[in-house]
């Protein structure tokens, strides 16, 4: 085939010929992004029904939306997750969004807190619904100590407490990956949320997680949520992303939206970052099975958020 046209279309539409050499055209949406990390009011700190997230995703030019509210626990645990008895309502909301959105894919996910000692519960949770994917997160590094909780901020200003927090966080993050419970691993360096980091080269903290990802084949999240936090940076740091790319670790770009207007927030910046590191593909999930799709070359800058 000779290249008759100067430029391949950014987003091939259904039935359109894919002109990129060596790239199989997967049909409509194959060169678009998705957003798999979003929350609903069931977790008591987010707004917007699944249908509103889906509509926002479609309007932002995304190929798919996924809901991933904070996982229920067997008994009362904290005040920022769905109650166990609300799970049926969550499933129903997502189903209603699916019905209303026609052929626009609405995926069912869950953001699960990795807590050592809760592994049987997480295994049970994995059987509770026909999940399209499960996201694993480390927020808690000790009883009642979540790294993203401003309540403990003054403590992290102390260098030795901060060093302990980072060590503990990354130890749990690597353990979470090794558990093989999750498809996507969320906001990798959440420990930097408040902009506080130990001194020196931070790659020593990332190594074990990169090794675990390479060994298990699971995906790392590139989250624009950090741009809306004090640190004003994407999770993870560029250095970690470079290590991930070198180790062949797949990535998924997500917003971690807690309101529909943040769906796809700052995707242009995230896409530019991952492409500059070398990434040319991302993953889509359905029924906990994944397929690789090409990344778009650019993304419109319209969908940016304000903190
Ligand atoms: Zn949340
Ligand atoms: Fe989280
Ligand atoms: Fe989240
Ligand atoms: Zn999150």
80 alpha carbon – ligand 1 mean position (Å)? 7
* Parent domain of 152: 34-294
Whether 123 maps to a domain, the answer reads yes
254 alpha carbon – ligand 3 mean position (Å): 10
pLDDT at 7: 38
CATH of the domain at 172: 3.20.20.140
Q: How many domains does the chain have?
A: 1
Largest CA distance in the chain: 64
> What separation in angstroms does the CA of 276 have from each of 39, 218, 220, 240, 241?
29, 21, 17, 13, 10
Length of the chain: 307
> How far does the centroid of ligand 1 lie from the alpha carbon of residue 140, in Å?
13
Please indicate, yes or no, if residue 124 is contained in any of the structural domains.
yes
Q: Is residue 185 part of a domain?
A: yes
Does 307 reside within a domain? no
Backbone angles phi, psi at 247, to 5 degrees: -90, 5
CA of 256 to the centre of ligand 3 (A): 5
> What's the pTM value of the predicted model, to 2 decimals?
0.90
29 in a structural domain? no
Q: At what angle do helices 203-216 and 238-246 cross, to 10 degrees?
A: 30
235 CA to middle of ligand 2, Å? 11
CA separation for the pair 303, 307 (Å, rounded): 13
- Residue 28 is predicted with a pLDDT of 57
- Ligand 2 midpoint to CA 136 (Å): 8
How many angstroms does the Cα of residue 124 sit away from the middle of ligand 4? 21
Give the pLDDT score at 302. Answer: 59
25 C-alpha to ligand 2 centroid (Å): 34
- CA 306 to ligand 1 centroid distance, Å: 17
pLDDT for position 18: 44
Q: Are 110 and 131 in contact (CB under 8 A)?
A: yes
Q: Ligand 4 center to residue 66 CA distance, Å?
A: 13
* CA 45 to ligand 1 centroid distance, Å: 6
Domain assignment of residue 78, yes or no: yes
Does residue 57 belong to any structural domain of this protein? yes
- Local mean pLDDT, 10-residue blocks, the chain (307 residues): 37 42 54 96 98 97 98 96 98 98 98 94 98 98 96 96 98 98 98 97 98 98 98 98 98 98 98 98 98 95 56
Q: Are 295 and 280 in contact (CB under 8 A)?
A: yes
Contact 266, 224 (CB under 8 A): yes
Q: For residue 43, is it within any domain?
A: yes
The per-residue pLDDT for 117 is: 87
pLDDT score recorded for residue 27: 57
Give residue 70's pLDDT: 98
């Amino acid at each position: 085939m000779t290249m008759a046209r100067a430029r391949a279309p950014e987003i091939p539409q259904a039935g359109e010929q894919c002109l990129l050499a060596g790239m199989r055209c997967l049909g409509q949406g194959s060169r678009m992004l998705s957003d798999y990390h979003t929350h609903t009011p069931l977790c008591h700190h987010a707004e917007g029904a699944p249908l509103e997230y889906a509509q926002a995703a479609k309007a932002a030019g995304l190929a798919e939306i996924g809901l991933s509210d904070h996982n229920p626990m067997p008994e009362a645990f904290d005040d920022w997750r769905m109650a166990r008895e609300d799970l049926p309502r969550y499933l129903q909301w997502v189903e209603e969004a699916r019905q209303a959105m026609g052929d626009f894919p609405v995926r069912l996910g869950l953001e699960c807190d990795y807590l050592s000692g809760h592994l049987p519960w997480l295994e049970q949770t994995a059987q509770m619904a026909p999940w399209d994917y499960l996201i694993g997160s480390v927020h808690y590094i000790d009883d009642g100590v979540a790294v993203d909780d401003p309540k403990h901020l003054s403590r992290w200003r102390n260098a030795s407490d901060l060093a302990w927090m980072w060590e503990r966080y990354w130890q749990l993050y690597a353990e979470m990956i090794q558990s093989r419970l999750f498809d996507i691993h969320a906001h990798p360096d959440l420990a930097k949320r408040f902009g506080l980091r130990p001194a020196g080269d931070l790659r020593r903290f990332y190594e074990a997680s990169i090794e675990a990802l390479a060994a298990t084949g699971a995906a790392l999240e590139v989250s624009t949520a950090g741009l809306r936090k004090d640190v004003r940076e994407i999770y993870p740091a560029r250095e970690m992303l470079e290590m991930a790319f070198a180790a062949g670790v797949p990535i998924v770009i997500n917003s971690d939206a807690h309101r529909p207007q943040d769906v796809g927030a700052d995707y242009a910046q995230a896409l530019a970052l991952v492409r500059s590191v070398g990434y040319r593909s991302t993953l889509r999930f359905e029924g906990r099975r994944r397929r690789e799709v090409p990344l778009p070359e650019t993304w419109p800058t319209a969908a940016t958020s304000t903190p």
